[in-house]
Amino acid sequence: MILLSTVMHFYTQVTIDVASPEAGVIQKFLAKEGETVEPGTKIAVISKSGEGATHVAPSESAGEKAASPPPPAEKVEEKQKPKAEAAPAAEKPKAPSPPPPPPPKRSATEPQLPPKDRERRIPMTRLRKRVAARLKDSQNTFALLTTFNEVDMTNLMKLRSDYKDAFVEKHGVKLGLMSGFVKAAVSGLQNQPIINAVIDGDDIIYRDYVDISIAVGTPKGLVVPVIRNAENMNFADIEKEINTLAKKANDGSISIDEMAGGTFTISNGGVYGSLLSTPIINPPQSAILGMHSIVSRPMVVGGNVVPRPMMYIALTYDHRLIDGREAVFFLRRIKDVVEDPRRLLLDI
């Protein structure tokens, strides 16, 4: 069976296989590469051995018209024959010709800039177009506001260093910093449930579960797989799920269902060296946490200036729903838990 590839839309896009209804050879494509098609649209024509052509994914679409047989040659010839000339009528004075119409305006999709030397024009991928549209919709819809804080990473890094070997031996996965931030985010969302909520018309929907989206940069673009029911996971469960989803995202095997939903997003720009940023909310969520690079900076501890591994963290939130008080308390909870992970054990 021949498999044809097309693109489906969600928050991010993935490539999925479209199965041909019968075995055969592709005769021609009815949809161009990169073109947006609706489900059920004919995208190709296949021919079977000794039989006529068969269309893939039939629907009432433009492809159906393209595949219709040409009119008989006799009818074409009849149409091309000139009609008998009518008897000449009395000549009338010609009216002045109207002015030429103004040149049509360029559409948004047409190139606006003339070509120049040492420049290359490459069409945007469907994924990049979708991400751009979603992020612009976020800016146009939400009342975006960002608050910042800084975290001393000393204790979380020491926890990882002290138990990394035992953790790998027991759980078969490395202990990273992301699981600590996921656990801290769960604690913060439970303490400030409005940040885990969303506006729906004139209502507010509160979620009694925590599905955390983790932004992952891939060679094809940004995808955001979801860790579901993170409130029920321990450090090992979170690390295993992150590794599984990240691997699928990078090799292109992640599914739409694995990226759907999510109540809160964590984006770690620190892996690329970002010192500070203002992340954009992932619709229809209401907030996003931005992590950044760890930098050794002089800090005052116990009256003494000592070097500490510090990270700036940022929370961008929808100010229509979340007040500054809740946002600051949430970010403060992230700081407290990361700086002293024992709080999770004692639930304080």
pLDDT digits over 260-301, tens only?
889 999 999 999 999 999 999 988 899 999 999 999 999 999
- Per-residue pLDDT at 14: 47
**CATH 3.30.559.10 domain span(s) along the chain:** 128-346
According to the model, what pLDDT value does residue 323 have? 97
Percentages of the chain per state (helix, strand, coil), in multiples of 5: 30, 25, 45
Q: Which CATH class is domain 128-346?
A: alpha beta
Catalytic residue annotation: 319, 323
Q: Is-contact 307 291, C-beta < 8 A?
A: no
Phi and psi torsions of 293, nearest 5°: -70, 155
CA distance 288 to 222: 15
Q: Please tell me the total number of residues recorded for the chain in this structure.
A: 348
Residue 43: what pLDDT? 80
Residue pair 39/7 in contact (Cβ under 8 Å)? The answer is: no
- Say whether 233 sits in a helix, a strand or coil: coil
Cα angle 242, 247, 248; round to 5? 100
At 298 the pLDDT is 97
DSSP conformational letter for 341: T
* 96-110 exposure pattern, b = at least 16 Cβ within 10 A, e = fewer: eeeeeeeeeeeeeee
Give Cα 123 to chain centroid, integer Å. 18
Res 59: pLDDT: 45
Supply the angle between the helices 178-191 and 324-339 in degrees, to the nearest 10: 140
User: Which residues fall within 8 angstroms of residue 240, CB to CB, at 6 or more apart?
Assistant: 171, 172, 173
Beta bridge partners of 196: none
125-177, pLDDT tens digit by residue? 887 888 888 888 888 888 999 999 999 999 999 999 999 999 999 999 999 99
CB 148 within 8 A of CB 276: yes
d(Cα 134, Cα 137) in Å, to the nearest integer? 5
Rounded distance between C-alpha atoms, residue 224 and residue 216, angstroms: 6
Given a cut of 50, the residues of the chain with pLDDT beneath it are 1-14, 50, 59-90
Res 1: pLDDT: 41
